[in-house]
C-alpha cells in the first residue's frame, strides 16, 4: 500500500499512463517544474524518462528516498547526486523490448526498401509514368549491433530469420553466437547495417562520430533507437549530405522534440518522433512496472528493477 501524499509525480504522463497511475495510487502532481513544489510527505518521485529531473528539485525534498522513472533510459536522472545521498532509482527495462525491436526492424526495412517514398510514388501517380527505383535487399547483409543488452539481444534474435550475419560491440564479449568487435569503428567497418542500442552515458557520448561513419561507408545504413547523444549529429548530417553513408533511420535526436531541421530536406533519412515504446500495451506495462517499484519500496521489498548507479 502506497501512503497518500507520499509520491510526487513530476511532469505530465500520457492519458493512458496517467489513468493506470491513478488506478493504483494517488500521487501529488507537480506538472510545472518552474512552479513551487506542492506540500506533502514525499518519500518517492515518479517521472517519465523523457522528463529531466533537476537535482535542485530533489534537494528541496530531503525526505526523498526513491526516484522511479518510467522508461528504460535513466539519463534524465542526476545519478551521482542520488548515489551520494543514498537515494534509490528504478527504471522499466524488459517490458518495452518487443515494441522497440519491432520499430527498429520496421525502420530498417522502410529505409532500405524506401517504403514511405514508394507510397508517395503511388499516390502521386508517378508509377503510371515510370517504375519505382530499385532498392536494397536485407538478406545476405552484415548487421552490427552496438550494445548487446536486453534490447540488443532481442533485436539479434529477431534479425536471425532474415538471413543476415550478426556482429556486436560492447564493454566486453558475451556468450552469444555472434562475432564480437572491441570497438564500434571496427564493427561499423564490418557492417552493412549498424544498429545503436546502447545506453546514454558519458562513455557513449558521440560514440558514432565521423570516423565511425566513414568506416560504415557509402553502402552502409545507420539505425538509432538508443539516444540522440550517442551520435555526433553534425558528423551524421555531413555524411548524409555527401552520401558518405547510404542512409539513416532515426527515432531519437539531440534536441527533442525539435530536431535539427537540416534532416528534413534529405532523401536518405527516415525520421520518427521517439516512438520506440509508443504502443498502448507497452506504455501500460511500463507504468505498472514503475508503480510496482514504488509498492516494493513502501513495503520494504527488493525493487523489481533497481538501477545500480
12 is catalytic: no
**Candidates 142, 274, 295, 306; catalytic one:** 274
How much is the pTM? 0.92
User: For the chain, where are the E strands, in sequence order?
Assistant: 7-10, 28-30, 44-48, 66-70, 88-90, 142-146, 165-169, 179-181, 193-196, 221-224, 247-250, 269-271
Three-class SS of residue 128?
helix
Summarised one tens digit per residue, pLDDT across range 205-244 is 999 999 999 999 999 999 999 999 999 999 999 999 999 9
Q: Which of 43, 227, 233, 283 is catalytic?
A: 227
For the chain, the average pLDDT equals 97
Query: Do 194 and 221 touch, CB atoms closer than 8 A?
Result: yes
pLDDT in tens, 103-136: 999 999 999 999 999 999 999 999 999 999 999 9
Is the confidence at residue 143, as pLDDT, over 70?
Answer: yes
pLDDT in tens, 279-307: 999 999 999 999 999 999 999 999 999 99
Residue 309 has pLDDT above 70, yes or no: no
The phi, psi pair for 61, rounded to 5°, reads -125, 80
- Cα separation, 201 vs 182, in Å, equals 18
Does 256 qualify as catalytic in the annotation? yes
Decide: 271 and 261 in contact? Cβ < 8 Å. Answer: no
Q: Is 114 a catalytic residue?
A: no
CA distance 10 to 48: 8
- Closest residue by Cα to residue 227 from 246, 245, 253: 253
Segment (H or E) for 19? helix 15-24
Three-class SS of residue 252?
A: coil
What would you report as the CA-atom Rg of the chain, rounded to the nearest whole angstrom? 21
Tell me the percentage of the chain whose pLDDT exceeds 70.
100
Q: How many helices (H) and strands (E) does the chain have?
A: 10, 12
Amino acid at each position: 500500500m502506497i501512503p497518500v501524499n507520499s509520491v510526487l509525480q513530476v511532469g505530465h504522463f500520457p492519458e493512458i499512463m496517467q489513468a493506470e497511475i491513478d488506478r493504483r495510487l494517488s500521487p501529488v502532481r507537480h506538472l510545472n517544474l518552474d512552479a513551487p513544489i506542492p506540500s506533502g510527505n514525499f518519500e518517492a518521485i515518479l517521472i517519465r524518462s523523457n522528463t529531466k529531473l533537476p537535482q535542485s528539485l530533489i534537494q528541496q525534498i530531503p525526505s526523498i528516498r526513491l526516484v522511479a522513472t518510467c522508461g528504460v533510459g535513466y539519463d534524465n536522472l542526476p545519478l551521482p547526486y542520488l548515489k551520494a545521498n543514498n537515494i534509490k532509482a528504478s527504471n522499466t527495462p524488459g517490458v518495452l523490448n518487443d515494441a522497440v525491436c519491432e520499430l527498429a526492424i520496421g525502420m530498417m526495412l522502410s529505409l532500405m526498401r524506401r517504403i514511405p517514398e514508394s507510397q508517395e510514388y503511388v499516390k502521386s501517380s508517378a508509377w503510371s509514368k515510370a517504375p519505382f527505383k530499385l532498392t536494397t535487399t536485407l538478406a545476405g547483409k552484415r548487421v552490427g549491433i552496438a550494445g548487446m543488452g536486453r534490447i540488443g539481444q532481442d533485436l539479434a534474435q529477431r534479425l536471425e530469420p532474415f538471413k543476415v550475419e550478426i556482429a556486436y560491440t560492447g564493454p566486453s564479449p558475451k556468450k552469444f553466437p555472434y562475432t564480437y568487435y572491441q570497438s564500434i569503428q571496427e564493427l561499423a567497418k564490418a557492417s552493412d547495417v549498424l544498429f545503436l542500442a546502447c545506453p546514454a552515458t558519458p562513455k557513449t557520448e558521440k560514440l558514432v562520430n565521423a570516423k565511425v561513419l566513414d568506416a560504415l561507408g557509402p553502402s552502409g545504413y545507420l539505425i538509432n533507437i538508443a539516444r540522440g547523444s550517442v551520435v555526433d549529429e553534425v558528423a551524421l548530417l555531413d555524411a548524409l549530405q555527401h552520401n558518405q553513408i547510404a542512409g539513416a533511420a532515426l527515432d531519437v535526436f539531440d534536441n527533442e522534440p525539435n530536431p535539427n531541421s537540416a534532416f528534413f530536406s534529405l532523401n536518405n533519412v527516415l525520421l520518427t518522433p521517439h516512438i520506440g515504446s509508443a504502443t498502448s500495451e507497452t506504455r501500460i506495462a511500463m507504468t505498472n512496472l514503475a508503480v510496482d517499484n514504488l509498492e516494493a519500496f513502501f513495503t520494504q521489498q527488493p525493487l523489481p528493477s533497481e538501477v545500480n548507479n
